[in-house]
Structure 1
Amino acid sequence: MTEQFSHETVLLHETVDALQPKDGVYIDGTFGRGGHTRLLLSKVSPNSTLIVFDKDPLAIAEAQSLKAEDDRVQIIQAGFAQMAQEIEQRGLSGQVDGILLDLGVSSPQLDDARRGFSFMSDGPLDMRMNPDTGMSAADWIANVREDDLANVLFQYGDERFSRRIAKGIVMARQQQAITRTLQLAEIIKASHPKWDHKKHPATKSFQAIRIFINGELDELDAVLQGSLKILKPGGRLAVISFHSLEDRAVKQFIRLQANGPELPPGLPVMESSIEKLLKPVGKAIKPSAQEVAVNVRSRSATLRIAERL
């Protein structure tokens, strides 16, 4: 029997309402366990189409069950970096009414020790969103150069002790292969001279390795750029991020598309000639105190919304 893991959908109503669901074509770029998708289906018309993307085979299995109940659902097993290409192949470029992205790792992925995302329970050191493709975290750690490892920990985890931790990992792997999550977590803890005792010392390092292994920031950049081709005028983009690197990328993208490219001072360019492709909708939205009390993992979430011009 397949083990079940619970998932609390973050900023559920705020995100779905931001898309102004009605009659049209909508995309859930990160299906997960389908919380946002199910609410969207309840709000769009019977003639609407809802296309869902996910790389995780377990998420796709959940999506297949939903499709059996509602034929408005179309499923694409791919990362959202391929969204623009997949939508173009279906002849829907420039015809989509809304795109929803719930970034990062889902609770079922974190809670399932077999996926290797968590430093709180022991499992194989994998961390791949799709365990059937790409290099696992264990394989990468077995071969990565110390300097490259330190750079990843610093760049994607903002880990100030990245060099000490990288050195500790490299020394440890010379004695024994690092293949388990708790094994890596203990090595990081032993290498870490100081940490906030409200957080596990491996928090930032595990985040950094996961982001790198899955190419998450590159994928985010690809889907943000692709959204400009996918959305129709008036179509909405709603993105939930969970750490500063993601949120900064989303914020800067929306700002750039809303203001147009930066031009040298004094360049004789009329405002009307600057191409502006998006407008921000409201301010960034954070979970309510009530939501955080129910789901502590929601505390770092930030929702940003933009509309295609």
Structure 2
Amino acid sequence: MSEQPYHIPALLPQCLDALDIKPDGIYVDATYGGGGHSRAIMERLDAGQGGHLYSFDQDIDAVKRAGEDPRFTMVYSNFRFITNFMRYYDVDGVDGVLADLGVSFHHFDTPDRGFSFRADGPLDMRMNRSASRAASSLLADIDRDRLADILKLYGELSQARRMADAIVRAREGGRKLDTVGALIETVTPLIDPRKEKKELAQLFQALRIEVNDEMGALRELLEGALRVLRPGGRLAVITYHSLEDRMVKNFLKTGDITGKVDKDFFGRVNAPFKLLASKPIVPDDDEVARNPRSRSAKLRVGIKIG
């Protein structure tokens, strides 16, 4: 197993502490990425005692970087299928599930993946390039109102409607929005130069979330993790923006991503998890200095009840 030097795992010591790893435990890293979290978890497992790690990634680049180890199984799939694969591998329960929802440095720093506005390249944004529509294909025929909703909901853009209008007008005028540069040229006239980097980041985030159905996949991961965790097992999730953090927070408290509370006959809340801490764990100043991209990371942890 290799860890790429250009990828720094966020909140690594805190994740290991949160998972309370046992040498004979069964664990899932739902987001292999550069392998940093997986490698650290695996180092605490003992194959002789049955300790094992299952790591998921839907990006073939990440899968190819993973090595072999008797304590390790690489699963080439979206983490939304966690329940299916644990059943496939005859795993009757796991002791911990970790998910780092941040986009890998590799994706941001590879122009031909189209995740970043900082370098021109194909407007792709697919985590799995064989399984979903590219962002350019999405923009080629999406309805104006639907696009505005996506930009507002997933990007929290105040100018979502105006950006959607500009994109659709450009498309109807015959412009191909198939590169990062073409998209930026279309929307930058609407952006205050003082806010350009922030709003472009929000725009690209919104499109990436839609292209990869990130919110739908996260919901299925959370529900699947609850099913496969043993009583006392731990679910640890690192989020990077308010929408996904709200979903995780609600789920850990109520078992529902919207925060809907389920009560028993006596009016007691049927909480699926005991929270390890009431507030999210965040990186300290030293970590942010070493890894500026961890600045917005929030780690929430729940311990499955009975």
TM-score normalised by length of structure 2: 0.91
The answer as to 2:286 corresponding to 1:290 is yes
1:287, distance to aligned residue in structure 2 (A): 0.7
Query: Which one of the candidate residues 277, 282, 289 is aligned to 2:272?
Result: 277
Distance 1:263 1:284 in 2: 23
What's 1:108 paired with?
Answer: 106
Distance 1:85 1:184 in 2: 38
Distance 1:180 1:213 in 2: 15
Describe how 1:199-278 pairs up with structure 2 within 5 A.
199-257=197-255, 262=261, 269-270=265-266, 275-278=270-273
The answer as to 2:115 corresponding to 1:117 is yes
What's 1:81 paired with?
Answer: 80
1:132, distance to aligned residue in structure 2 (A): 1.5
Deviation above 4 Å: which 4+ runs of structure 1? none
1:88-110 alpha-carbon deviations (Å, 9 max, x no partner): 222224x2000000003111111
1:5, distance to aligned residue in structure 2 (A): 7.2
Describe how 1:130-149 pairs up with structure 2 within 5 A.
130-149=128-147
- Aligned identity (percent) is 39
Distance 1:262 1:164, change over 3 A: same
The answer as to 2:54 corresponding to 1:51 is yes
Distance 1:88 1:248, change over 3 A: same
1:257-302 alpha-carbon deviations (Å, 9 max, x no partner): 39x96369xxx93256x53321111131011111111111111110
The answer as to 2:298 corresponding to 1:308 is no
Aligned residue for 1:303, secondary structure, equals: strand
Q: Which amino acid aligns with 1:83?
A: I
Distance 2:182 2:281 in 1: 37
Aligned residue for 2:177, secondary structure, equals: coil
Q: Which amino acid aligns with 1:304?
A: R
Contact map agreement 1:5 1:107 (CA 8 A) in 2: no
Contact map agreement 1:241 1:301 (CA 8 A) in 2: yes
1:147-175 alpha-carbon deviations (Å, 9 max, x no partner): 11111100111111001111111122223
Distance 1:139 1:38 in 2: 36
1:195-251 alpha-carbon deviations (Å, 9 max, x no partner): 653734311111000000000001000010111110001110000000000100000
Distance 2:45 2:149 in 1: 45
Distance 1:231 1:224 in 2: 11
TM-score normalised by length of structure 1: 0.90
Gaps of at least 5 residues in structure 1 are: none
Gaps of at least 5 residues in structure 2 are: none
What's 1:180 paired with?
Answer: 179
Q: Kindly tell me the number of residue pairs found equivalent between the two proteins.
A: 295
Contact map agreement 2:252 2:275 (CA 8 A) in 1: yes
Distance 1:72 1:39 in 2: 12
